[in-house]
Each structure stands twice: as C-alpha cells, then as structure tokens.
Amino acid sequence: MKKYTIHPIYPIVIGLGLLVGGIACIKELLDPNVHEFSWLWPRVLPWYLFGYGWYKFFTLNFLVEVHDEGYFRLRSLMRTQAINCDDIYHVDDKYGFIRIFHKNGKTSVTELIDGISSIKSVFPEKAEREQRARSEILYVRSWPTIFKVFFASVLFFYGIYVEIIQLNLHAK
C-alpha cells in the first residue's frame, strides 16, 4: 500500500483564512449595516466565495491510499471513500484540483499532495472505459446535489433581500 497526503500546514493556514472570512460573512448575514469587505462588489459575492471555500475544504480529499488489491481509499474531513480502479473512467485536472470520475459519481483530490510529482499519474485512465461508462451511467440527481442547489438558491435570494435593505438604508 502506498500513501500520499498533503503537508499539515496547508489545512491549518487555509482553515484559519476561511474561519476569519467566514466570521466576517456571518456578521454581514446577521446585520445589514455591517459591510466588512468592500463597497465595490455586492455583499453576496464573499458569501459565495467563502461558502464554496468551506465546501471544498471539508469535501476535498487530502489523503490517497493506493492498495495492492486494486482500489483507492480517498479521505477528506467529511468522509472516507473507496474506489475500485476499474470503476474510474476519466481523470481531469483543472485549477489545482484533480477530479476523478467513476461509476458512483465524481470526487476531487488536491494537487498539493506531497511525495509525487503529479498525483494524476496514480489514477488509471483509459479511453475505452470512458466511452463505455458514459453510455452505461444514467444521469441521476442525487440528494446532495438537490441540497446544494437549494442552499445556493436560498443564499442567492437572501443576498438580493439584503441588498434591497442596504439600498433602502442608503436612500434615507
């Protein structure tokens, strides 16, 4: 078994930055008179950025274990996931993240993992499996996806409400 992980300083620094920004966003959510970031952009923009940052922080896999039996064990702060090598049909790397598409969905791994030049080389990728899996897998909207869409919609409409309140306060 081979184990790849990130250096412990990365989650500490990123987590502290998200904590400070998250507290500022919560202050803005609770009190429409508080505007801690800037008057140059809408108040909702930092909420989205820090919300997405917290989502990625808790769901991004920071530990990859390659087992000799033909499967990977991926660990994040929220869950542990085992993926069979034959179930992986596509590996894509963009913007510092590696997305692994497999028969049960997709998952992300950070590129900050130590011990290898590119963690993408660990995951198998074959074009014939990609075509076969795309034809076999039906698109099914799962409950986490529905929850994410609902949460983003509520946050969006609450942001519009707060902006209207803010404009009314400035008009007086």
Q: Is 114 exposed, middle or buried (0-12, 13-18, 19+ CB in 10 A)?
A: exposed
The arrangement of strands across the sheet holding 2-5 comes to 2-5, 63-67, 71-75, 80-84
For residue 14, what pLDDT is reported? Answer: 92
How confident is the model at residue 36, as a pLDDT? 66
The angle subtended at Cα 66 by Cα 79 and Cα 56, nearest 5°, is: 35
Rounded average pLDDT over 87-111: 79
- Its pTM stands at 0.69
Instruction: List pLDDT tens digits, range 119-169.
Output: 767 776 654 455 555 544 545 456 677 887 888 888 788 878 877 877 787
Alpha-carbon distance values, 24 to 10, 36, 50 (Å): 21, 7, 10
H-run or E-run covering 11? helix 9-30
